[in-house]
Amino acid sequence: MMDLPIYLPIPIEHQELYHKLVASKLPRMNKPKLYNRTTRSFEYENTYKVNGLSFLYNSGIGKMFNSMFLNKRNVSKIYGRLMNGRGSVYQIPKFIKHYKINTSEIKRPINSFRSFNDFFTRELKDNARPIDPEPTHLISPCDSRLLVFDLAKQHELPVKGYWYSLADLVKDAKIGREYGNGWCFIYRLAPSDYHRFCYMDSGRQEKVRRIRGVLHSVHPIALSNTTSLMVQNYRELTMLHTKNFGKVVHLEVGALFVGKIVLINKNEHTFRRGEEKGWFEFGGSTIIQLFKKDQVQPDADIVEQSLLKIETIVRMGEKVGISASAGTA
């Protein structure tokens, strides 16, 4: 079986041509620069099988394949079925080795996983991701690379060269106006990240709204080479009425080869801080949260790096901001 990111569910009569093209020389892409706030140093993202995505987004023929075969959600579903197949377990050791996954924090033995997706959506041991205990501290809902934007100063949001308006992202003009001068937190989950996510405060959620759209990858290469990326992804929007941060817009974005966002409860219900909200199946995905300006203050180091368009590495449960009322108390 071919390595996962290279094996693409395109018509069999085109696969030989595709793989010949991928094997040819392709332009090298710079790895994303990341800020490690623990060591206060910079590092570069460890990408996986970049050539396939480089081909799809950088070459004319690759863009043709992308347009013809890969931008439909049913293709993502097919790939998802492959990742749920028993034969996909052979990819797990390669994945662990490449990304240096910390297997000691995984709840189940590695040989117990029935498919790659079973491993990809793995649970961690209790306390592997401790939740910051201070209620007024804003916590990251997931392991990710974080960018923060002040929407009062920036009406369109840049993500690795891609620009989109708030209204296009949420497909709701009212939300666009209501949060137009607030804060936007963009959490990009890389394939190596833990793909389960939690609630960032206690409160009540409204019924989840589904926003349909064409799927594209949120891999850094894809992010830097398309002008209509996020607005063409599959999204789940939840309005969260929180105890410490007011009304928050929470958006999960599914990407190419993912498509499936699994939410534990899509109906109106109450939730608690750190409670699991759901998970993404195989691939890189994104969580976006919108706050009103008078409700939150992002951590200064994250804001500083975001102004330079550098993502900050964060873990689920880690402090990334503070309630605005607590910050001024």
**Active centre residues (catalytic):** 143, 285
d(CA 166, CA 270): 27
Query: For the chain, percent helix, then strand, then coil, each to nearest 5?
Result: 30, 30, 40
Those residues whose C-beta lies under 8 Å from the C-beta of residue 129, and which sit 6 or more positions away, are 143, 194, 315, 316, 317
Report the SS3 class of residue 14. Answer: helix
Tracing tokens 């409204």 back to the chain, one arrives at 206
d(CA 88, CA 3): 10
Position 246, amino acid? G
Specify the DSSP element, H or E, that contains 300.
helix 300-307
Those residues whose C-beta lies under 8 Å from the C-beta of residue 295, and which sit 6 or more positions away, are 182, 245, 246, 248, 323, 324
Burial code (b: 16+ CB inside 10 Å, e: under 16) for 67-77 equals eebbeebebbe
Residue 247 CA, distance from chain mean position: 22
**DSSP, residue by residue, 89-117:** GGHHHHHHHHHT--GGGBSS-GGG-SSHH
Is residue 163 within 8 Å of residue 157, measured between CB atoms?
yes
d(CA 11, CA 131): 46
Within the chain, how many helices (H) and strands (E) appear? Answer: 11, 19
Report the SS3 class of residue 22. Answer: helix
- Report phi then psi at 82, rounded to 5: -60, -40
- Report phi then psi at 271, rounded to 5: -140, 165
